Chains A and B, each alone.
Chain A
């Protein structure tokens, strides 16, 4: 089914962080803990689904010359909505994410999906794309958040109200929750994913699936990249 296909592709095949490598600013900034990663993921997913649907709905009306300003108005409106509603009904989360919510406006994933998908497909498929991309984004942020929080602070915080898990036997490496740790975790996970995909493809005797719009043909570091 088409709907299902568009939804699932965001999780792995076109994962916004690890495959499309979009939205790196919020990714590196908020993944210092699992809680922040989840909050950012959920907020961005909501904006992504809404903006995808609205942009798809108005795609016949908006002249292509002013489409980018229109998209930005739509996205910014939903971001402000999330900001206000979260401030009113989830003040704790708003306090810890406050800085990052306005950043969703310029999150490349959202404008990227608007321009790359929603303006060419039906409302239903755009919603599927938004859900899939949002879930993929949330999942990837959470994995990064878990890695960094566990290594950097020795804890796992799922939500403020819930008890924080102290992981015994981990000596926290503060570097991991500082800015360099973000790059190290992201780079390592990207490398792991590429390595896995390359070795799966090699076992099947296939050529390496190149990432969408990217390829590593010019790179000679990895022996499977040829």
Chain B
């Protein structure tokens, strides 16, 4: 009985100390982690929106959420003097080679794509991870949103996939296409700010 008490107390004490320590560090790092996440998103937004001279609002604060195909899509809209200049949308696909891929896709008011910024991917380094290299990102840039067939060439589309990384390329391209479908279906709401 005495031994059991000792075992329990020791383990409880150690867990309490560990718990306290973790709570402290969590409190110290929480704000910083939240800030880092915002910065990451901000950087991705800047990479896929039109040049900063083409809008004067803060896209992060002018998000329009629409519902399409049973999914919520958040479009961060860039405006100059209130006129729609372009937008970025966070999209993703669970069909990457290593699981989830999340990315930011941006386009301008003229209906041309500006590009993608990968937020999260676990693809094979050297193969699928090349979706996050300029070589692949450029293939999605400057394309017409409606004329381009947003599928990889292997699926009969216009997007040249990375050799030996068709699955990763397809996941990215499909994620972009789904976001575009959401945009085209809700174009007015997004461009007018959803009011």
Q: Which residues of A contact B83 (CB under 8 A)?
A: none
Q: Is the CB of B22 within 8 A of A77?
A: yes
Q: Is the CB of B125 within 8 A of A32?
A: yes
Looking at B24-32, B45-53, B136-144, the stretch in contact with chain A turns out to be B24-32
Sampled A-B contacts (26; CB under 8 Å):
A32-B126, A33-B126, A63-B3, A63-B6, A66-B10, A70-B10, A70-B11, A70-B14, A73-B11, A74-B14, A77-B21, A80-B25, A81-B22, A81-B25, A84-B29, A84-B33, A87-B29, A87-B36, A89-B32, A91-B36, A91-B39, A91-B40, A155-B126, A174-B126, A174-B127, A174-B164
Q: How far is the CB of B53 from chain A (nearest CB, A)?
A: 28
Closest B residue to A99 using CB positions: B122
The answer to whether the Cβ of A221 comes within 8 Å of any Cβ in the partner chain is no
Closest A residue to B125 using CB positions: A32
Closest B residue to A95 using CB positions: B120
Closest A residue to B119 using CB positions: A95
Give Cα distance in the complex from A172 to B22, angstroms. Answer: 44
Interface range, B side = 20 to 34
Q: Which residues of B contact A153 (CB under 8 A)?
A: 125-126
Q: Which residues of A contact B22 (CB under 8 A)?
A: 77, 80-81
Which of A81-133 touch B at CB < 8 Å?
81, 84-85, 87-89, 91, 95, 99
Q: Is the CB of A84 within 8 A of B164?
A: no
Q: Which residues of B contact A84 (CB under 8 A)?
A: 25-26, 29, 33
Which of B1-37 touch A at CB < 8 Å?
3, 6-7, 10-11, 14-15, 18, 21-22, 25-26, 29, 32-33, 36
Q: Is the CB of B126 within 8 A of A177?
A: yes
Q: Which residues of B contact A220 (CB under 8 A)?
A: none
The answer to whether the Cβ of B124 comes within 8 Å of any Cβ in the partner chain is yes
Shortest beta-carbon contacts, A-B, top 3: A153-B126, A88-B32, A88-B29
Give chain A's interface secondary structure class.
helix
The answer to whether the Cβ of A184 comes within 8 Å of any Cβ in the partner chain is no
Encode B102-136 as 1/0 by CB contact (under 8 A) with A. 00000000000000000010101111000000000
The answer to whether the Cβ of A165 comes within 8 Å of any Cβ in the partner chain is no
Q: Which residues of A contact B29 (CB under 8 A)?
A: 84-85, 87-88
Q: Which residues of B contact A65 (CB under 8 A)?
A: 7
Given A69-B11, A174-B126, A177-B127 in contact, is the A85-B6 Cβ separation under 8 Å? no
Q: Which residues of B contact A219 (CB under 8 A)?
A: none
Number of A-B contacts (CB under 8 A): 72
Give Cα distance in the complex from A109 to B25, angstroms. Answer: 25
Q: How far is the CB of B23 from chain A (nearest CB, A)?
A: 11
Q: Which residues of A contact B164 (CB under 8 A)?
A: 174
Q: Is the CB of A88 within 8 A of B33?
A: yes
Q: 10 other contacts beyond A32-B124, A87-B29, with CB at 8 A cut-off?
A: A66-B11, A73-B15, A74-B14, A84-B26, A99-B122, A153-B126, A177-B126, A177-B127, A178-B124, A178-B127
Closest A residue to B21 using CB positions: A77
The answer to whether the Cβ of A10 comes within 8 Å of any Cβ in the partner chain is no
Give Cα distance in the complex from A61 to B164, angstroms. Answer: 56
Given A70-B14, A99-B122, A177-B127 in contact, is the A63-B7 Cβ separation under 8 Å? yes
The answer to whether the Cβ of A190 comes within 8 Å of any Cβ in the partner chain is no
Closest B residue to A154 using CB positions: B126
